[in-house]
Chain A
Amino acid sequence: MSRPDPSACLNLSSSRTRQLLVGGMRQDFPIFEHPMRGKRLVYLDSAASAQKPQVVIDTVQRFYTEEYANIHRGVYELSEEATQIYEGNREKVRRLINAREIREMVYVRGTTEGLNLLAATFGRQRLGEGDEILLTEMEHHSNIVPWQMLCEQTGAKIVVAPITDDGALDMDAFEKLLGPKVKLVSVAHISNALGTVNPVKEITRLAHDKGIPVIIDGAQAVPHIAVDVQDIDCDFYVFSGHKIYGPTGIGILYGKAELLEQMPPYQGGGDMILTVSFKGTTYNEIPYRFEAGTPDIAGAIGLGTAIIYVQSLGFDAISAHNDKLLNYGTELLQEIPGLRLIGTAPEKVAVLSFVMDGIHPHDIGTILDSRGIAIRAGHHCAQPVMERFNIPATTRASIGIYNDKSDLDALAEGLREVRRMFG
């Protein structure tokens, strides 16, 4: 039975690329047919989670409607086909991040689980009393807390590389902190709170010169820029499907095969074993060793389509669209009296984080909400960043491929209304 892939209907022509650059891909996303608070939905919260294009929704629906069965188990046609589609998606992910081998793609629930997996296996295996884990001040809580938990178990400790006033990583300080006790470096590719793009290739080179393995949290990077894990040469790279226009509940842990092979399993259960007896169990090969239990099959399949969708636009066009809107939005916001942007690093994407004199971000969020504008207000799961800038919270507008200039015009008009109301 041949399977018409919904993603095959994507037209890989340059007209779609032009469309992205001119007005954004709003028409591909059915959520925008529905108003919010009776107004045209202006969605500026893609850094929290991205909306889903119709083609991804169709893929997931088709899978449940016509193709569903468990994988790696059945001797019947449906199961074999589901397995084939599910496994086939690893190749799509491999191409997305240009990894060497398909078996280097481990399905996880998302970035958070990927980092927890690494802490519980790689970290647990390699770290001991007095060893150091080098992080940065701009990390998301999910790249802090798993390491703190590991430190409690092993006696290792966390060292934090500072950021500069514009929100860039202080590379001189980073290099100095790469001391003899550091056994692991884990950094965000792009900061979710500031939009800063970190020089991950240089970070990896500096760490590798001292024999230190490097983990990159790619949650915010994968939707916006072309990622090449071989070029970066990082040892692990983790990201979530839902931020790259795919379903929730699925993500990818990339690891170099030789490292994954040395790692102990994460969770125990079905699929991660070769043989089980009460005398002992032999574990499966990678990546299956890390994938106990029935996974989010539909999520993985939806992610495959999301990847094809994004690639049909091309990262050159996605970056150009992003830069255009980021520059436009930055100019508009700078005109608002009493507004201060937090995070103005030279290398930056997709995020406009700001505070307004005397106005709490939650009040800003509610007033924008009433105008149909979705933004995030709070600490963005990056409380150390807030502490660094001595603020309790920020308001954050973040950009996706469905946004256009009119969304940022609406944001600026909403903020002028906030200013009028609060005087």
Chain B
Amino acid sequence: MGDLRDLYQEVILDHGRRPRNVGNIAPPCSHADGYNPLCGDKLTLYLRIEDDTVSDVKFEGAGCAIFTASCSLLTEALIGKSIEEANELCRRFVAMSTTPVEEECDTEGLGKLGVFAGVREFPARVKCATLAWHTFENAVRGSGESAQTE
């Protein structure tokens, strides 16, 4: 049984309270909305992409600390990554957050993002952590579809 501290680590509390890269990009190369109807977490993610590289990411949103920290850390993690690297990181983040709690989860190379492994102890909260990442994938695809966790 993981301790609650595994989830609400300093890094999540810090980014939950003082999220980085809040705002919009005008005009963005791409943007997408995400919404979790169950708990009301809501965001719009704005991307600037230059030469197949994510040159800027910003978000506007409102929700719980885990959601807000996840948005904030996503922006920090993805700025400067190639599209391919960013998509791979999204895939790995979602895989980590949704690995069954009794299995070892792979946090290698995820750095600070590894703290979200703690969310697996609280299945109702996994969507709070993954919403921003699904929204990023949609924004990159430029599909214009809204990411929904339900």
**Do residues B39 and A366 form an inter-chain contact, with CB atoms below 8 A?**
no
Per-position 1/0 for A411-423, Cβ under 8 A of B: 0000000000111
CA distance A367 to B124 in the complex (A): 12
CA distance A395 to B128 in the complex (A): 17
Cβ of B49 under 8 Å from chain A: no
**Do residues A421 and B125 form an inter-chain contact, with CB atoms below 8 A?**
no
Partner-binding segment picked from B50-58, B62-70, B86-94, B142-150: B62-70
A-B contacts at CB below 8 angstroms, number: 49
Given known contacts A379-B40, A421-B8, A421-B13, A363 and B1 CB-to-CB distance under 8 angstroms: no
**Do residues B66 and A363 form an inter-chain contact, with CB atoms below 8 A?**
yes
Q: Which of A275-333 contact B (CB under 8 A)?
A: none
**Do residues A360 and B64 form an inter-chain contact, with CB atoms below 8 A?**
yes
Per-position 1/0 for A357-381, Cβ under 8 A of B: 0111111001101100000011100
B13 / chain A contacts, CB cutoff of 8 Å? 421-423
16 A–B contacts, CB within 8 A, in A order: A37-B1, A358-B17, A359-B65, A360-B63, A360-B65, A361-B64, A362-B39, A362-B64, A363-B66, A366-B122, A369-B122, A370-B4, A370-B121, A377-B39, A393-B39, A422-B17
CB-CB nearest in chain A for B39: A362
Cβ of B96 under 8 Å from chain A: no
Could you list 4 further interchain pairs (A-B, Cβ under 8 angstroms) beyond the known A360-B65, A370-B4? A366-B124, A366-B125, A367-B8, A393-B39
Cβ of A180 under 8 Å from chain B: no
CB-CB nearest in chain A for B121: A370
Given known contacts A379-B40, A393-B40, A362 and B1 CB-to-CB distance under 8 angstroms: no
CA distance A408 to B64 in the complex (A): 24
Q: Which of A368-401 contact B (CB under 8 A)?
A: 369-370, 377-379, 392-393
Q: Which of B65-98 contact A (CB under 8 A)?
A: 65-66
Cβ of B43 under 8 Å from chain A: no
**Do residues A422 and B65 form an inter-chain contact, with CB atoms below 8 A?**
yes
Cβ of B47 under 8 Å from chain A: no
B residues with a Cβ closer than 8 A to A are 1, 3-4, 7-8, 13, 16-17, 38-40, 62-66, 121-122, 124-125, 128
Given known contacts A366-B7, A370-B4, A421-B8, A392 and B62 CB-to-CB distance under 8 angstroms: yes
A residues with a Cβ closer than 8 A to B are 37-38, 358-363, 366-367, 369-370, 377-379, 392-393, 421-423
B121 / chain A contacts, CB cutoff of 8 Å? 370
**Do residues B128 and A362 form an inter-chain contact, with CB atoms below 8 A?**
yes
CB-CB nearest in chain A for B119: A366
B38 / chain A contacts, CB cutoff of 8 Å? 378
**Do residues A363 and B65 form an inter-chain contact, with CB atoms below 8 A?**
yes
Query: Which 6 A-B residue pairs are closest in the complex by CB-CB distance?
Result: A360-B64, A370-B4, A362-B64, A363-B65, A363-B64, A392-B40
CB-CB nearest in chain A for B4: A370
Most A-side CB within 10 Å, residue of B3, B39, B124: B39
B7 / chain A contacts, CB cutoff of 8 Å? 366
B4 / chain A contacts, CB cutoff of 8 Å? 366-367, 370
Q: Which of B3, B8, B17, B39 contacts A378 (CB 8 A)?
A: B39
CB-CB nearest in chain A for B36: A362
CA distance A2 to B66 in the complex (A): 59
A379 / chain B contacts, CB cutoff of 8 Å? 40
Shortest C-beta distance, A213 to chain B (Å), equals 34
Shortest C-beta distance, A405 to chain B (Å), equals 25
CA distance A362 to B4 in the complex (A): 14
CA distance A161 to B39 in the complex (A): 27
A421 / chain B contacts, CB cutoff of 8 Å? 8, 13
Shortest C-beta distance, B109 to chain A (Å), equals 27
A392 / chain B contacts, CB cutoff of 8 Å? 40, 62
A358 / chain B contacts, CB cutoff of 8 Å? 17
B122 / chain A contacts, CB cutoff of 8 Å? 366, 369-370
B128 / chain A contacts, CB cutoff of 8 Å? 362
CB-CB nearest in chain B for A379: B40
CB-CB nearest in chain A for B122: A366
CA distance A377 to B39 in the complex (A): 8
CB-CB nearest in chain B for A417: B4
CA distance A31 to B108 in the complex (A): 40
CA distance A359 to B124 in the complex (A): 17
CB-CB nearest in chain B for A371: B4
Shortest C-beta distance, A348 to chain B (Å), equals 25
B8 / chain A contacts, CB cutoff of 8 Å? 363, 367, 421
CA distance A370 to B66 in the complex (A): 15
CA distance A410 to B39 in the complex (A): 25
CA distance A330 to B125 in the complex (A): 28
A369 / chain B contacts, CB cutoff of 8 Å? 122
Shortest C-beta distance, B133 to chain A (Å), equals 18
Given known contacts A421-B13, A422-B13, A38 and B65 CB-to-CB distance under 8 angstroms: no
CA distance A37 to B63 in the complex (A): 25
CA distance A391 to B27 in the complex (A): 31
Given known contacts A362-B128, A392-B62, A422-B13, A38 and B1 CB-to-CB distance under 8 angstroms: yes
Shortest C-beta distance, B39 to chain A (Å), equals 5
CA distance A360 to B41 in the complex (A): 10
CA distance A369 to B39 in the complex (A): 16
CB-CB nearest in chain A for B65: A363
